[in-house]
Amino acid sequence: MNIFDRLQSIDKRILYVLLFFAIAFPLVNPVPLPMAIAPPTRAAYEWMKSLPDGGVLWVGGDYSASSIPELTPAGKAFVRMAFEKNMRVIHFTMWNTGANIMNAWLTGVAAEYNKQYGVDWVDIGYKPNATAILRHMTSNIIEAAGTDFYGTPLADLPLMQEVLALSPEYVDGIVELSTGSPGSATYLTYVVEQKGIEMVVACTAVSAAGDMPYFLSGQFKGLLNGMAGAAELEKLSGHPDKASASLGAQSFAHALIILFIILGNIGYIVNRRG
């Protein structure tokens, strides 16, 4: 086996160890790097800024624990922007695993801004059969959802006595944190297209390529691409948090993977010519 053969078959355990250190080192010793803002992120930021002060923002938290690094920072940045504009926030999730995750960080961010539950924000929590519930909420939230995350009847919460339906009369915009299905496409089909409410989406990077046609058609007013999109929004909104702090590690990991791809291809090309 010559060196070029070896370049094509480096032991995967070496790659694993190097990848671990490529991510760990910049996390322990942060390296500040210049960040470019992608147009879909800027569009989301501008859209968020354009929402009326004191309005109502609907947050869809449709993800599980595995997507926390990508979507929680984006969600926090959006909700912080909303609270700074004195907007009221309503959260609803179509993922049973998203209920406790969303409630935990929403409670934390609401506490940062001294927001009162039931008045400034409400957590509807998880409801099964997402499609039907979501469509039903476009005409009557209380009838469709019944109770909130804590089991309190929605009719008893002051905010929900004011926001009767998921429609433009009551809700100024939707921020959807989407991992897959049910997610952004569900909102698009049953709420955005039917009722005309505007929506921005923060998606996991896996979905970004497939979601781009929706951004270009204007069906999504903005699109955050995974952790990078979240970090860009953190920078734009002036709330640097975990995504910004993690982007250095992401850079090193990408560099390592590209380096290995190049090494493998050098071996392949030289061997093919020889």
Which positions from 150 through 179 interact with another protein, judged by CB under 8 A? 150-151, 153
Only one residue has tokens 């039907």, namely: 132
Contacts of another protein in 47-86 (CB under 8 A): 64-66, 68-70
Contacts of another protein in 203-242 (CB under 8 A): 204-206, 208-210, 212-214, 216-219, 225-228, 242
| DSSP E strand stretches across 116-252 | 121-126, 173-178, 199-203, 222-225
Q: How far is the CB of 97 from another protein (least distance, A)?
A: 7
Identify the residue among 46, 84, 156, 193 touching another protein (CB under 8 A).
Answer: 193
Question: Cα separation of 175 and 205, whole Å?
Answer: 17
The letter for the amino acid at 155 is A
CA-to-CA dists, residue 74 to 7, 10, 155, 232, angstroms: 39, 37, 30, 9
Bridge partner residues of 92 (DSSP) = 60, 125
Identify the residue among 144, 166, 177, 224 touching another protein (CB under 8 A).
Answer: 144
Smallest CA-to-CA distance from 47 within 92, 81, 72 is with 81
**270 counts as binding another protein under rule CB under 8 A:** no
**1 counts as binding another protein under rule CB under 8 A:** no
Upstream peptide bond of 182 is cis (omega within 30 degrees of 0): yes
Q: Which stretch binds another protein (CB under 8 A): 32-40, 44-52, 53-61, 82-90?
A: 32-40
C-beta of 53 vs 196, nearer to another protein: 196
Identify the residue among 4, 113, 170, 257 touching another protein (CB under 8 A).
Answer: 257
